[in-house]
């Protein structure tokens, strides 16, 4: 797993950082005894089962099985490759990485190569915007009110009309066609060869929180359809996992403690340019859980500005429930018909937009207002439909006080007794529970003999016990091949005089299952000091007894086969061996 980076460097990094500090920078942790607890960031859950151990410097989720050290957390949460996670934590810890190792890792990393291609592509498009070919695109943007400084800040560019402009440019940079295709910036021709994906379009580079270019959005200069085309998904770009402009807006979001969310590039750029610095765009897709969790790192409050044409769609309304599930307070602004954030800002000014944001409706009021305009609440059927839709949202609230208050208000708005609304809410809960059970069963804990996991825990906690265990057991005595591998590496490391820590031990393995086994072992109940030697002795006896039982069973099966085949010579040897085991055991 560690590649060319020496193990002592990795251990040095891990020894200088605190996993609680690292993880709490992304999700809120609450102390629970000696450990810290949180809702797992890797799967949806209502009861916290994600544990972080400051003593062992590891984390483990008892719901989905996700486990690891600080490197692993960054890889999973930030979608980094191992060398990138190492580099990030090395910088935080003040540890210098060997330059050759960094260069070698970067050279072999596909992700790093794609980032490089995307960066070169963004520069190519940006330079083209000021070329004779791109002057029409630049004038179009300037006429729309986008300033020169804004064009530079967002690296807005222009893809020329010719079919191979980018290909020729990247070839001069010694980039292969295969890598260009992997980056999604070119397409293969049916008869062979390639051509540029984007042509005669304004280019908006899509960046991540670290300002690395992930992909591109491309807009036409007229009313031709499709108006926008975007990069395909690649190993560095996944639609629905990023928010446009977050790298520039994150500080403004923290300072204001809320985020304004719009849909498109220009709907973001114009308000941001005019001073609304806590704004992001969803890149034209329905909001996803990943995007909401990304925002959650910076605030627990959001305001959505909707296109009036979409504002009343039930699918749009239901998508807002993601915010409730993630415990983010969400409000909604609907602009006048014919306006979007871009055009509204240009015509009315940023202060008018900020005023609408200030007076945004909370989700309950907004959704109820839309539903009352859609259904006739004078009729029983209309009331039924409104209640059904509203309860889908109310049921998502985790706070019982909020639930109670919204049920009361729904009762008053529709003139329905609270008792009947509560009856319907219980039906929604039952149906939802059924759905969760059948559609989102969590991963099971690793199916490892608890005795083997307990011995791993004790060896990692008490180095003195390792020698005792080595005298009585070999790695082959552990029935599971993964635990046998862990024990083998532990024996080797101790033989080399190295210290053993759970977080650094994981660096010797590439399999996620092994990290899970190590973490599950460390979160087993504590064994008191006075009982440890006896527990180790009992575990050794049980493992040796189990190995003997399995060996007897194996011999018994071979004896039956030899009897069936009439092979007396083999039969006599096997019976003698079986008798020896009986006396031994």
pLDDT in tens, 418-452: 998 898 888 776 554 343 333 333 445 567 888 88
Model confidence over 220-265: pLDDT tens digits? 998 888 889 999 999 889 888 899 999 999 889 989 999 999 988 9
pLDDT band at residue 167 using 50, 70 and 90 as cut-offs:
very high
Pairing of strands 201-207, 157-159: antiparallel
3-state secondary structure of 68: strand
- Alpha helices by DSSP H, listed for 349-417, are 350-358, 363-374, 380-394, 400-414
Query: What is the structure's pLDDT at 428?
Result: 73
Evaluate whether 414 touches 386 at the Cβ level (below 8 Å): yes
Distance between CA atoms of 51 and 544, rounded to whole angstroms?
33
Pairing of strands 301-306, 329-334: parallel
| Most confident segment among 23-37, 347-361, 418-432, 568-582 | 347-361
- CA atoms within a 13 Å half-sphere pointing along the CA-CB vector of 146: 23
| Most confident segment among 40-54, 270-284, 439-453 | 270-284
Does residue 301 have a pLDDT over 90?
A: yes
- Report the CATH number of the 246-360 domain: 3.40.1360.10
Q: Once rounded to an integer, what is the mean pLDDT over residues 344-364?
A: 95
Model confidence over 112-135: pLDDT tens digits? 899 999 999 999 999 999 999 999
Does residue 106 have a pLDDT over 80?
A: no
pLDDT band at residue 71 using 50, 70 and 90 as cut-offs:
very high
Mean pLDDT of the chain: 86
For domain 450-584, which CATH number applies: 1.20.1050.10, 1.10.600.10, 1.10.860.10, 1.10.8.640?
1.10.860.10
Query: What is the structure's pLDDT at 573?
Result: 78
The CATH number of domain 7-107 is 3.90.580.10:
yes
More confident residue, 104 or 233: 233
Query: What is the structure's pLDDT at 258?
Result: 95
Percent of the chain with pLDDT over 90: 42
First to last CA, the chain: 41
Evaluate whether 66 touches 42 at the Cβ level (below 8 Å): yes
Evaluate whether 562 touches 570 at the Cβ level (below 8 Å): yes
3-state secondary structure of 39: coil
The CATH number of domain 109-224 is 3.80.10.10:
no
3-state secondary structure of 157: strand
Model confidence over 191-215: pLDDT tens digits? 889 999 999 999 999 999 889 999 9
3-state secondary structure of 379: coil
> Model-level pTM greater than 0.75?
no
Does residue 409 have a pLDDT over 90?
A: yes
Query: What is the structure's pLDDT at 100?
Result: 52
Pairing of strands 186-188, 194-196: antiparallel
Does residue 1 have a pLDDT over 50?
A: no
List 279's β-bridge partners, or say none: 260
Evaluate whether 471 touches 501 at the Cβ level (below 8 Å): no
Which stretch of 106-110, 115-119, 142-146 has the lowest confidence by average pLDDT? 106-110
More confident residue, 92 or 99: 92
Run of H or E including 53: strand 50-53
Structure tokens at 578: 């079986």
Which stretch of 367-381, 446-460, 508-522, 547-561 has the lowest confidence by average pLDDT? 547-561
Q: Once rounded to an integer, what is the mean pLDDT over residues 537-565?
A: 79
Distance between CA atoms of 25 and 143, rounded to whole angstroms?
42
Q: % helix / strand / coil in the chain, to the nearest 5? A: 55, 10, 30
Distance between CA atoms of 550 and 533, rounded to whole angstroms?
26
Give whole-number Cα distances, 394 to 21, 153, 329, 382, 429, in Å.
34, 41, 13, 18, 11
Q: Among candidates 4, 2, 29, which has minimal Cα distance to 18? A: 29
Angle, in degrees to the nearest 10, between helices 7-16 and 70-78: 80
Percent of the chain with pLDDT over 70: 91
3-state secondary structure of 52: strand
Distance between CA atoms of 83 and 80, rounded to whole angstroms?
8
Q: Once rounded to an integer, what is the mean pLDDT over residues 83-107?
A: 75
Query: What is the structure's pLDDT at 504?
Result: 87
Distance between CA atoms of 59 and 530, rounded to whole angstroms?
27
């Amino acid at each position: 797993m560690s590649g060319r980076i020496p193990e002592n460097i990795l251990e040095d990094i891990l020894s200088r950082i605190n996993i609680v500090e690292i993880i709490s920078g992304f999700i809120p942790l609450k102390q629970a005894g000696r450990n810290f607890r949180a809702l797992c960031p890797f799967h949806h859950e209502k009861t916290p089962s994600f544990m972080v151990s400051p003593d062992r410097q590891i984390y483990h989720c008892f719901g989905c099985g996700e486990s690891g050290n600080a490197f692993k957390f960054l890889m999973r949460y930030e979608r980094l490759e191992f060398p990138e996670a190492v580099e990030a934590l090395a910088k935080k810890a003040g540890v210098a990485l060997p330059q050759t190792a960094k260069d070698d890792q970067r050279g072999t990393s596909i992700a790093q190569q794609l980032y490089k291609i995307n960066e070169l592509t963004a520069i190519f498009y940006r330079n083209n915007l000021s070329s004779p070919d791109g002057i029409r695109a630049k004038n179009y943007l300037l006429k729309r009110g986008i300033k020169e400084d804004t064009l530079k800040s967002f690296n807005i560019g222009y893809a020329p009309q010719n079919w191979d402009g980018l290909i020729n440019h990247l070839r001069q940079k010694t980039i292969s066609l295969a890598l260009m295709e992997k980056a999604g910036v070119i397409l293969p021709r049916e008869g062979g060869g390639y051509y540029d994906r984007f042509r005669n379009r304004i280019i908006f580079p899509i960046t991540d929180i670290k300002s690395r270019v992930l992909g591109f959005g491309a807009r036409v200069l007229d009313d031709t359809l499709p108006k926008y085309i975007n990069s395909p998904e690649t190993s560095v770009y996944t639609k629905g996992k990023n928010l446009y402009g977050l790298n520039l807006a994150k500080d403004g979001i923290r300072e204001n403690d809320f985020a304004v969310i719009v849909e498109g590039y220009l709907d973001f750029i114009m308000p941001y340019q005019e001073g609304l610095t806590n704004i992001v765009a969803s890149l034209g897709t329905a909001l996803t859980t990943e995007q909401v969790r990304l925002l959650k790192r910076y605030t627990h409050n959001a305001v959505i500005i909707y296109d009036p044409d979409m504002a009343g769609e039930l699918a749009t309304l239901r998508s807002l429930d993601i915010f409730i599930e993630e415990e983010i307070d969400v409000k909604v602004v609907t602009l006048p018909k014919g306006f979007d954030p871009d055009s509204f800002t240009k015509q009315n000014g940023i202060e008018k937009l900020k005023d609408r944001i200030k007076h945004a409706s909370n989700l309950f009021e907004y959704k109820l207002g839309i539903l009352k305009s859609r259904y006739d609440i004078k009729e029983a059927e209309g009331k039924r439909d409104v209640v059904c839709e509203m309860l889908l949202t109310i049921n998502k609230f985790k706070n019982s006080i909020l639930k109670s208050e919204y049920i009361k208000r729904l009762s008053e708005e529709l003139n329905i007794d609270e008792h009947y609304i509560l009856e319907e809410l219980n039906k929604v809960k039952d149906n939802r529970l059924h759905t969760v059970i059948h559609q989102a069963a969590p991963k099971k804990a690793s199916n490892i003999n608890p005795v083997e996991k307990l011995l791993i825990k004790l060896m990692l906690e008490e180095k003195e016990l390792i020698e005792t265990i080595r005298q009585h057991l070999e790695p082959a005595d552990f029935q599971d091949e993964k635990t046998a591998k862990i024990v083998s590496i532990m024996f080797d490391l101790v033989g080399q005089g190295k210290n053993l820590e759970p977080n650094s031990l994981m660096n010797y393995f590439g399999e996620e299952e092994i990290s899970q086994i190590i973490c599950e072992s460390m979160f087993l109940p504590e064994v008191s000091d006075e009982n440890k030697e006896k527990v180790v002795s009992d575990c050794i006896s049980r493992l040796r007894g189990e190995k003997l039982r399995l060996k007897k069973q194996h011999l018994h099966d071979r004896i039956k086969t030899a009897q069936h085949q009439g092979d007396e010579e083999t039969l006599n040897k096997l019976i003698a061996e079986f008798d020896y085991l009986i006396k031994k055991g």
